[in-house]
């Protein structure tokens, strides 16, 4: 019975979790820097892009843009951290 209650609590947490866009950056290296910065404060993020990784990476007219996503509960703190670091 205890496992069932725990399972229900996890499902509830997942339903309450909303992922929102924090910002967009033009290059992957900039996104990785922000990801590392947020990780230092215990904030997890997701990087989303259409970048095709290859041996010889190149970008064409904004195709390397990376969207940084965070939990909606971490959005305000994430913006504050980034603004202080600029």
Predicted TM-score (pTM) of the model is 0.72
User: What digits encode the pLDDT tens for the residues 27-74?
Assistant: 889 999 999 999 999 999 999 988 665 555 555 555 679 999 999 999
Give the pLDDT score at 1. Answer: 47
Of the two residues 25 and 4, the one the predictor is more confident about is: 25
Taking the C-alpha atoms of residue 28 and residue 66, their distance in angstroms, rounded to an integer, is 6
The answer on pLDDT for 80 being more than 90 is yes
Residue 86 CA from chain centroid, whole number: 18
Domains of the chain: 17-85 (3.30.70.790)
Q: How many CB atoms lie within 10 A of CB 27?
A: 15
Q: How many CB atoms lie within 10 A of CB 25?
A: 19
Give the pLDDT score at 25. Answer: 94
| Residue 78's pLDDT band (cuts 50, 70, 90) | very high
Is 52 within 8 Å of 25 (Cβ atoms)? Answer: no
């Amino acid at each position: 019975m205890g496992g069932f209650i725990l399972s229900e609590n996890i499902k509830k947490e997942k339903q309450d979790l909303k992922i929102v866009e924090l910002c967009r950056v033009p290059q992957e290296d900039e996104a990785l820097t922000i990801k590392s910065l947020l990780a230092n404060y215990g904030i997890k993020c997701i990087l989303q892009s259409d970048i095709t990784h290859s041996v010889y990476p190149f970008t064409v007219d904004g195709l390397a843009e990376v969207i940084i996503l965070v939990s909606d509960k971490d959005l305000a703190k994430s913006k504050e951290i980034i603004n202080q670091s600029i």
